[in-house]
């Protein structure tokens, strides 16, 4: 039997630590509970939002509707030669899942250590870090069609993964409830990715000459802790903006005006440029405005110094967007899901 609560403070359910409230709130532990909820008048008549770990969301105001908190738990596995297939329920914590793999010496997700959020949210955003994206290990995504109440399954190719993109973030946004994700990891003959400069440097500092799944995970955790603030200490949602990809011709023009601009050549005559560099050049890094600001060590991270309202963080983001657009003619795109 599902339990519906009213006027629930969302502070424990979002990493920005915002005290916006939800008119209605419930936790879903099984697919059957979700199907029960879908049949209620409350679901049919009220605006609703599915919430995972709350690590990639910004509530601008109180949510006048129903928050559906994903709380499905459990992991099962199937072994096949050098690989293992893991069926992971969507409410499992992503980092906890990564550590579960690392502790078993299963390879493929170690570069994604310490990313906040749930397993169910990982494919929506196609989370990635240090040369790896979750699409690299996802076999399929399963869940419930919220329009028909039917169970559906999407193989990797059907998920339409892109840079921080997927079908679940666009075509199926608010139309599909992810209940489990199947990932394929290696149990031996690991293809470890240590090409990212920061990982190489950190492994050298750790005096690691022969990397393992564990040492790569440890290196990534060390890097992330040194660059990104802990949401338990100061409210934030990690990187607030995506790194923009621009035409090579536009990059070359910017390079003439700003010779120090970094860039990483991509496909089809495009270049990926770090959003944090643009923000820093506009003098936002480390800047504080009352209860909100930009983190002193990472310009991509907007923070709640305490008692901020979602509207304050949103306004800060808009001001950053405007200044970057004015100086560089670059339009940054929020990575965080903004809920009005």
pLDDT exceeds 80 at position 216: yes
Q: What is the mean pLDDT of residues 168-197?
A: 93
The confidence score (pLDDT) of residue 196 equals: 81
pLDDT by residue (tens digit) across 28-47? 999 999 999 999 999 999 99
The confidence score (pLDDT) of residue 300 equals: 95
pLDDT by residue (tens digit) across 237-258? 999 999 999 999 999 999 999 9
pLDDT exceeds 80 at position 267: no
pLDDT exceeds 90 at position 265: no
**3-state SS class at 10:** coil
The confidence score (pLDDT) of residue 81 equals: 86
The confidence score (pLDDT) of residue 133 equals: 96
In angstroms, rounded to a whole number, what is the distance separating the alpha carbons of residues 208 and 53? 33
The confidence score (pLDDT) of residue 80 equals: 85
Active site residue 78: no
Active site residue 239: yes
Which position among 179, 217, 239, 312 bears the catalytic label? 239
Q: What is the mean pLDDT of residues 291-307?
A: 95
Which position among 55, 133, 164, 179 bears the catalytic label? 164
Q: What is the mean pLDDT of residues 69-88?
A: 95
The confidence score (pLDDT) of residue 228 equals: 87
Active site residue 133: no
pLDDT exceeds 90 at position 54: yes
The confidence score (pLDDT) of residue 227 equals: 84
pLDDT by residue (tens digit) across 146-179? 999 999 999 999 999 998 899 999 999 989 999 9
Q: What 8-state DSSP symbol labels residue 171?
A: T
The strand ranges marked E within the chain are 5-9, 21-28, 48-51, 57-59, 63-70, 75-80, 83-89, 128-129, 132-133, 138-145, 151-155, 176-186, 235-239, 245-247, 264-265, 270-272, 288-289, 292-294, 301-304, 337-339
307: tokens are 């008692």
CA distances from 74 to 96, 98, 180 (A): 12, 14, 9
pLDDT exceeds 80 at position 202: yes
pTM (predicted TM-score): 0.89
The confidence band for 72, taking pLDDT boundaries of 50, 70 and 90, is very high
Could you tell me the domains of the chain?
Answer: 5-70 (3.30.43.10), 75-227 (3.30.465.10), 235-339 (3.90.78.10)
Q: What 8-state DSSP symbol labels residue 293?
A: E
B/e letters for 224-260, b = 16+ CB within 10 Å, e = fewer, are beeebbebeebbbbbbbbbbbbbeeebbeebeeeeee
Average model confidence (pLDDT) for the chain?
95
């Amino acid at each position: 039997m599902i339990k519906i609560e009213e006027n629930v403070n969302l502070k424990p359910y979002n990493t920005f630590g915002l005290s916006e409230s939800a008119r209605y709130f419930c936790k879903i532990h099984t697919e059957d509970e979700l199907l029960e909820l879908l049949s209620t008048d409350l679901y049919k008549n009220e605006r609703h939002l599915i919430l995972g770990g709350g690590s990639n969301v910004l509530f601008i105001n109180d949510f006048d509707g129903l928050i559906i908190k994903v709380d499905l738990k459990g992991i099962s596995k199937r072994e096949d030669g050098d690989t293992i297939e893991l069926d992971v329920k969507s409410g499992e914590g992503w980092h906890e899942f990564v550590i579960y793999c690392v502790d078993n010496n299963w390879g493929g997700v170690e570069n994604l250590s310490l990313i906040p959020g749930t397993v169910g949210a990982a494919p929506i955003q196609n989370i990635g870090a240090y040369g790896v994206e979750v699409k690299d290990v996802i076999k399929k995504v399963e869940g419930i069609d919220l329009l028909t109440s039917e169970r559906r399954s999407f193989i990797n190719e059907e998920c339409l993964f892109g840079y921080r993109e997927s079908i679940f973030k666009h075509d199926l946004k608010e139309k599909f409830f992810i209940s489990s994700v199947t990932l394929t990891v290696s149990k031996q003959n690991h293809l470890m990715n240590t090409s990212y400069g920061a990982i190489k440097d950190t492994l050298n500092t750790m005096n690691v000459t022969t990397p393992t799944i564990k040492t790569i995970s440890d290196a990534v955790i060390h890097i992330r802790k040194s660059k990104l603030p802990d949401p338990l200490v100061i409210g934030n949602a990690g990187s607030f903006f995506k790194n923009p990809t621009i035409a090579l011709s536009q990059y070359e023009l910017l390079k003439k005006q700003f010779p120090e601009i970094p860039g990483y050549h991509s496909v089809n005559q495009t270049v990926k440029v770090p959003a944090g560099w643009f923000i820093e050049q506009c003098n936002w890094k480390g800047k504080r405005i009352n209860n909100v600001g930009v983190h002193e060590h990472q310009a991509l991270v907007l923070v709640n110094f305490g008692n901020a309202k979602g509207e304050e963080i949103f306004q800060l983001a808009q001001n950053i967007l405007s200044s970057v657009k004015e100086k560089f003619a670059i339009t940054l795109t929020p990575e965080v899901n903004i809920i009005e």
